[in-house]
């Protein structure tokens, strides 16, 4: 584990990670130059062909990430908004205005660029784009088009996530991902969005952590799972439906085949649209370590990872790895962190070494290029965030040194945000936000990772 007295990377690690490694280790599918487009109507964003050149294209992606519902605010038509407002909500607080990123995206994108990053991963809110079944909002799609253009104008590659957990309320009221019609509905949405955004995109994930619901069955105690299922019953009443279902809380055995089909059909719809960029799926991958005889690690992998790794290998240009730590698995299941272990605000063990192991596991299972689409730590102590980042990047450097096709590292998250059922307490951000004033203040970790992104040299 890194300590405060030794926070930096070795020279070898920095060279390997920072874009100075052999071209064979870093070459990534180069996003196509944006296609020329007809002049926009007055007040519309100019096409990407007129945006500034992006120095990150063709090389290693250094980025930061957010998700719409967690930062935009006022996501009134989403299933998560409804769940937050239940009388017996599983959420500890409401998202409200969040970080007002919906209106302040230009400021936030400019800040990410100023810090030194070349990639911004953000999600498109399906509930804004299609607030009612089959009713697509051109104004909302153009909002995300302007976000993409702002990224290009600031030299950032837009890395799009088509669904980051939250979905339209009407979709959840029809059964959500339990509904056999869900894959076709998702593919239709992907087609509509790509038609307007595809020329800007440099990377895209169909779904964010679609295996999270399966993982929660291993992580959460039975009473909490029962509370989540009860919330679905309450939500159905609130939505005047008899089968309301949200991705993290519904019946996973019914969701899995539909989510796999949604990824496959969504991938096809995105690839058929304008633009030429890698498309994949981003998975939650925990470094599962066996503990004692008869460990159930293999059972967990079969249930939570292997169906999705097979899907990524069959229908995907890359595998997105999202790792925060490890889990120790004995013959009964997941056990608590070892006594005396340093814990994060999420109750997880401080274990940045996990990232190297999950990258190797994902690549061995798929033989696809790897993008780290999320990695980070929930902590108020930014010194520990710095230590975590440096140790995690050592693992990325070791993978590159061994010739694994790791194409990028995208940190979660750009800003402290709304962390779903946990509310605003966990602090994952490189940038602090005063939610009373919405003032953004970069932390030392933001400047450290930004300097690595710019120059490949860790701070002394």
Q: What is the dihedral of CA 423, 408, 103, 146, to 10 degrees?
A: -150
pLDDT band of 181, cuts 50, 70, 90: very high
Q: How far apart are CA 305 and CA 295, in angstroms?
A: 16
Q: Which residue has the higher pLDDT, 121 or 227?
A: 121
Q: Are 170 and 133 in contact (CB under 8 A)?
A: yes
Q: Are 210 and 259 in contact (CB under 8 A)?
A: yes
Q: What is the mean pLDDT of the chain?
A: 89
Q: How far apart are CA 293 and CA 39, in angstroms?
A: 66
CATH code matching the domain that covers 11-20+60-453, chosen among 3.40.50.970, 3.20.20.80, 3.40.190.10, 3.40.50.1450: 3.20.20.80
Report the pLDDT value the prediction gives residue 7, as an integer from 0 to 100. Answer: 40
pLDDT in tens, 163-179: 999 999 999 999 999 99
Q: What is the mean pLDDT of residues 84-102?
A: 97
Tokens describing residue 244: 């309301």
Report the pLDDT value the prediction gives residue 59, as an integer from 0 to 100. Answer: 87
Distance between first and last Cα of the chain = 18
Tell me how long the chain is: 460
Report the pLDDT value the prediction gives residue 259, as an integer from 0 to 100. Answer: 98
pLDDT in tens, 242-263: 999 999 999 999 999 999 999 9
Residue 54 above 60 pLDDT?
Answer: no
Residue 160 above 50 pLDDT?
Answer: yes
Kind of pairing, strands 157-161 and 119-123? parallel
| Torsion over CA: 152, 158, 162, 168 (sign) | negative
Report the pLDDT value the prediction gives residue 335, as an integer from 0 to 100. Answer: 96
Report the pLDDT value the prediction gives residue 122, as an integer from 0 to 100. Answer: 99
Instruction: Compute how many other C-beta atoms are within 10 angstroms of the C-beta atom of residue 302.
Output: 11
Q: What angle (nearest 5°) sits at the alpha carbon of residue 105, between those of residues 426 and 84? A: 45
pLDDT band of 456, cuts 50, 70, 90: low
Residue 30 above 70 pLDDT?
Answer: no
Tokens describing residue 157: 């590659």
pLDDT in tens, 356-405: 999 999 999 999 999 999 999 999 999 999 999 999 999 999 999 999 99
- 239: phi then psi, degrees, rounded to nearest 5: -95, 10
- 284: phi then psi, degrees, rounded to nearest 5: -80, 115
Per residue, the 3-state secondary structure of 179-195, as one string, reads: CCCHHHHHHHHHHHHHH
């Amino acid at each position: 584990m890194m300590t405060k007295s030794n926070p930096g990377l070795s020279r070898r690690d920095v060279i390997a990670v920072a874009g100075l490694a052999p071209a064979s280790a870093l070459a990534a599918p180069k996003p196509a130059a944006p296609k020329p487009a007809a002049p926009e109507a007055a007040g519309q964003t100019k096409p990407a062909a007129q945006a500034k050149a992006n120095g990150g294209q063709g090389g290693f992606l250094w980025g930061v990430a957010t998700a719409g519902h967690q930062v935009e605010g006022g996501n009134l038509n989403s299933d998560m908004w409804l769940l937050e407002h239940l009388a017996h909500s599983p959420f500890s607080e409401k998202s409200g205005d969040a970080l007002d990123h919906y209106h302040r995206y230009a400021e936030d994108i400019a800040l990410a660029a100023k810090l030194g990053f070349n990639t911004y991963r953000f999600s498109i809110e399906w509930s804004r784009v299609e607030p009612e079944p089959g009713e697509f909002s051109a104004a909302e799609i153009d909002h995300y088009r302007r976000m993409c253009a702002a990224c290009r104008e600031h030299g950032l590659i837009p890395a799009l996530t088509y669904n980051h957990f939250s979905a339209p309320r009407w979709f959840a009221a029809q059964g959500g991902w339990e509904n056999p019609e869900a894959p076709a509905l998702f593919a239709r949405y992907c087609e509509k969005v790509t038609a307007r955004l595809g020329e800007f995109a440099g990377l895209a994930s169909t779904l964010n952590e679609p295996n999270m619901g399966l993982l929660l069955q291993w992580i959460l105690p039975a009473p909490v799972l029962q509370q989540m299922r009860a919330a679905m019953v309450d939500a159905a009443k609130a939505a005047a439906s008899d089968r309301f279902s949200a991705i993290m809380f519904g019946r996973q055995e019914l969701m899995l085949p539909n989510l796999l089909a949604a990824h496959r059909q969504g991938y096809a719809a995105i690839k058929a649209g304008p633009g030429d960029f890698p498309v994949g799926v981003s998975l939650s991958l925990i470094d599962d370590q066996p503990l004692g005889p008869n460990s159930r690690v293999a059972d967990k992998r079969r249930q939570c990872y292997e169906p999705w790794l097979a899907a990524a290998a069959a229908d995907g240009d890359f595998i997105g790895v999202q790792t925060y730590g490890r889990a120790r698995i004995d013959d009964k299941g997941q056990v608590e962190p070892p006594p005396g272990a340093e814990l994060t605000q999420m109750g997880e063990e401080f274990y940045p070494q996990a990232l190297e192991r999950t990258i190797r596991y994902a690549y061995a299972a798929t033989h696809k290029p790897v993008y780290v689409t999320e990695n980070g730590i929930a902590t108020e102590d930014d010194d520990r965030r710095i230590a975590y980042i440096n140790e995690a990047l050592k693992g990325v450097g070791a993978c590159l040194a061994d010739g694994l096709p790791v194409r990028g590292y995208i940190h979660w998250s750009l800003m402290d945000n709304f962390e779903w059922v946990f509310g605003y307490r966990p602090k994952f951000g490189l940038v602090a936000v005063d939610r009373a004033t919405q003032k953004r203040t970069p932390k030392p970790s933001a400047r450290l990772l930004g300097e690595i992104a710019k120059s490949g040299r860790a701070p002394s």
